[in-house]
Amino acid sequence: MMIAGIIASSCTTQQNKSENDMNPFFTAYGTPFDVPPFGKIENSHFLPAIKEGIKQQQAEIEAIIDNPDMANFGNTIEAFDYSGNLLRETVSVFDNLLSANTSDELQQLAKEAAPIRSKHRDDIMLNEDLFARIKTVYDKKDELELTTEQATLLEKTYKRFARNGAGLVGDKKEKMRQINEELSLLSLQFDENLLAETNGFEMVIEDEKDLSGLPQSAIDGAAEAANEAGHEGKWLFTVQKPSMIPFLQYADNRGLREKIFKAYTNRGNNNNQYDNKEIAAKLAALRVERANLLGYKTHADYVLEINMAKNPETVYVFLDEVMGPALKNARQEVVALQEMIDAEGGGFQLEPWDWWYYAEKLKMQKFDLDEEELRPYFELNNVLAGMFDVANNLYGLQFKKIDDIPAYHADAVVYEVLEADGSHIGILYMDFYPRASKGGGAWMTSYRKQSKQDGENIAPVISMVMNFSKPTADKPALLSFGEVTTLFHEFGHALHGLLSDCTYPSLSGTSVPRDFVELPSQVMENWAGEPEVMKSYAKHYISGEPIPQELIDKTEASNKFNQGFVTVEYVSACYLDMDWHTLKTAEQQNAIEFENKSMHRIGLIPEIVVRYRTPYFAHIFAGGYSSGYYSYLWAEVLDADAFQAFKETSLFDKGTAKAFRENILEKGGTEDPMDLYIKFRGRAPQKDAMLERKGLN
């Protein structure tokens, strides 16, 4: 028996070694620019690489703890920040594929990996010996001659441990572990349910009369979607926004508008296996429990302590300042839309599924502007070229398309990003169109963040993921202006990651407070609508003629149109987020009752539905925006004020662009964000430009 056991053990060891040799995460990638070797990565590689990455980081942590030398910045703080490279590389690929190209197998692996990863994070954050060394360095911070970035890293590392329970004792540590594991699993389930609900709805139209009012682009897209789904000769509409929004804007069939709108707003609220109501309520309750365990009144107090806002009271005051005038505008908009319904002899009261349709009609009436008139001028490749030109004019950047490089999906395109002198900056992936394996919305992420180690700059690998209108058989991808601004928005995030010039991984790129991270993205949106820029990229996809000045003038004239609706819809979601996360006890709420009370308290009018209802509010229940959804509006103050700096000089003023790059884009989280903004702007941000832009002043 003993001999057989030895033989079996030897065979197993050789088998594991063979498997390890084949696992692409265990060797140098050997790919252009060291991007992940997507073609070689199989789902079976992830869990072994995650486990090995954890093992390696545990050994690195033990080496820090066992170091006989006195704890100092280099052997403790710096060593910790650079630890866990294999784990970081593996989970970056895994998590990004889970969002952008998922499968049943990946989702199951995520559930298997979640408790393992949660335990590992807690093993680090709750490690008394490691925290003791960190605290030793922190207590001497005033005696150390540290650079600004080093001082920031020390401060953030200490606070990260303190805020994650390093100071807890006894049973409280075990309780923290249980909460963190449950939170990670619930967040995964929330996201998985939402994807299933989104993919699960199909509105198949058989009667051509039901397409009345729809632009040809929407009809063609629906016909192709139907054919792909096996509904030949019919038209398919889904709750993916490129399909749903045109339907709500243009479809004359009110009953079908109601159907698709309710399908969208009831995702996760259908009392089926994908229902998210209890999951959301449980997540909120667990977050309260964790916050209380750490000595905070609420989860929002815990989160906001390290954001620019600092506390919930500041956020609520800010939201109140905007909501008042926004609601006033929205009520006026209701009157105007109802008058149009009555003038047509509609005989009904305005409902949420009517808003988009009649707002589009009213815009046409007031400004002679139909959004569909713009679409032929926003061919995707032309918009990309214009966007790249903006980055070139501002920062001298060049974008070189690369075809022979590994990509995670056939839809993804890849660019090398270079400085004006041709030196390499990083790699940019872009993935444009919806598919069943991709989450909804748009986001920027990284496969590798920029950092520096041993005198070498580690170049970033950045990705932008969108869900835009797809090409059809006879037309290229033609974007709405909303999709154009989304593209510029995510590109701003990408520049934040690409132009990072930091030393430490945990501070680089977009590793900044949640209410600061949207500044680089939102400021880029401003260039998308500038006439000078629009003329450079808005060219008719057939004739190549630039967009007529008349259309640009109409677009500018309509900028403040419907802003009451847009702002109320968004700000109501900010309140909902804050209300969920200012709960003081861990008592589990009835999600819909709680949401209704929240919306009643702020006076949300019945004609508008909160942008994200609780069961599909992925930003806060499956993403990183809990107590932080207000950040987009907060950043609007920053971006409007920052863009004014360019308008006060010129659109592509080199000095202003240099100041923005050096003080915002390159700095990551190495300094206090308000200090960085003041260095760029010469003063604190002011609300005036934002309120003026929205017509709320």
At residue 1, the pLDDT reads 31
What is the average per-residue pLDDT within 659-677?
97
- 424-431 sheet: strands from edge to edge: 398-402, 413-418, 424-431, 461-465, 443-448
Q: Kindly state whether residue 15 falls inside one of the protein's structural domains.
A: no
What is the average per-residue pLDDT within 608-622?
98
CB 309 within 8 A of CB 170: no
DSSP code of residue 468: P
Q: Kindly state whether residue 13 falls inside one of the protein's structural domains.
A: no
At residue 20, the pLDDT reads 65
Instruction: Identify which of 147, 154, 149 has the alpha carbon closest to the alpha carbon of residue 72.
Output: 154
**Structural domain count, the chain:** 4
- Does the pLDDT of residue 390 top 80, yes or no? yes
Q: Kindly state whether residue 6 falls inside one of the protein's structural domains.
A: no
At residue 473, the pLDDT reads 87
3-state DSSP percent of the chain in helix, strand and coil, to 5: 60, 5, 35
CB 505 within 8 A of CB 479: no
At residue 697, the pLDDT reads 77
CB 357 within 8 A of CB 338: no
Handedness of CA 272, 275, 277, 278 (dihedral sign): positive
Residue range 245-302, pLDDT digits in tens: 999 999 999 999 999 999 999 999 999 999 999 999 999 999 999 999 999 999 999 9
d(CA 83, CA 130): 13
Residue range 134-154, pLDDT digits in tens: 999 999 999 999 999 999 999
- Residues 547 and 603 both lie in one domain: no
- Residues 548 and 569 both lie in one domain: no
From 416, 490, 569, 607, the catalytic residue: 490
d(CA 420, CA 433): 30
Instruction: Identify which of 478, 241, 474 has the alpha carbon closest to the alpha carbon of residue 383.
Output: 478
User: Does 42 qualify as catalytic in the annotation?
Assistant: no
Structure token pair of residue 81: 């920040």
Q: 621, 642, 666 — which closes off a domain?
A: 621
Q: 93-97, 353-357, 556-560, 575-579: which range is least confident on average?
A: 556-560
- Residues 407 and 489 both lie in one domain: yes
d(CA 308, CA 519): 12
Structure token pair of residue 533: 């820029």
Return the H-helix or E-strand segment holding 456. strand 456-458
- Does the pLDDT of residue 12 top 50, yes or no? no
CB 503 within 8 A of CB 455: no
DSSP code of residue 661: I
- Does the pLDDT of residue 6 top 90, yes or no? no
At residue 16, the pLDDT reads 53
Q: Concatenate the DSSP letters of all residues of 53-118 into one string.
A: HHHHHHHHHHHHHH--SPP-IIIIIIHHHH--HHHHHHHHHHHHHHHHS--HHHHHHHHHHHHHHH
d(CA 488, CA 530): 12
Residue 371 — very low, low, confident or very high, per pLDDT cuts 50/70/90?
confident
Q: Kindly state whether residue 589 falls inside one of the protein's structural domains.
A: yes
Of all residues in the chain, what percent carry a pLDDT higher than 90? 95
Residue range 192-229, pLDDT digits in tens: 999 999 999 999 999 999 999 999 999 999 999 999 99
Instruction: Identify which of 554, 366, 522, 333 has the alpha carbon closest to the alpha carbon of residue 444.
Output: 522
Q: Kindly state whether residue 314 falls inside one of the protein's structural domains.
A: yes
At residue 3, the pLDDT reads 34
- Residues 526 and 545 both lie in one domain: yes
What is the average per-residue pLDDT within 45-68?
98
Taking each helix axis as running N to C, give the angle between helix 104-125 and helix 85-100, from 0 to 180 degrees, rounded to the nearest 10: 140
Q: Kindly state whether residue 108 falls inside one of the protein's structural domains.
A: yes
- Residues 526 and 412 both lie in one domain: yes
The CATH number assigned to the domain holding 294 equals 1.10.1370.10
Supply the mean pLDDT for the chain.
95
Q: 590, 621, 652 — which closes off a domain?
A: 621
- Residues 413 and 355 both lie in one domain: no
- Residues 70 and 93 both lie in one domain: yes
What is the average per-residue pLDDT within 530-537?
95
- Does the pLDDT of residue 7 top 70, yes or no? no
- Does the pLDDT of residue 14 top 70, yes or no? no
Residue type, 343: A
At residue 695, the pLDDT reads 87
Residue range 58-99, pLDDT digits in tens: 999 999 999 999 999 999 999 999 999 999 999 999 999 999
Q: Kindly state whether residue 572 falls inside one of the protein's structural domains.
A: yes
- Residues 359 and 481 both lie in one domain: no
- Residues 456 and 548 both lie in one domain: yes
Residue range 321-352, pLDDT digits in tens: 999 999 999 999 999 999 999 999 999 999 99
Which range of residues forms the domain containing residue 318?
Answer: 287-375+564-621
d(CA 579, CA 316): 10
DSSP code of residue 370: -
User: What's the predicted TM-score (pTM) here?
Assistant: 0.93
Q: Kindly state whether residue 214 falls inside one of the protein's structural domains.
A: yes
- Residues 417 and 536 both lie in one domain: yes
- Residues 144 and 253 both lie in one domain: no
In 176-234, DSSP assigns E strands to: 203-205
- Residues 519 and 393 both lie in one domain: yes
Residue range 497-519, pLDDT digits in tens: 999 999 999 999 999 999 999 99
The CATH number assigned to the domain holding 665 equals 1.10.1370.40
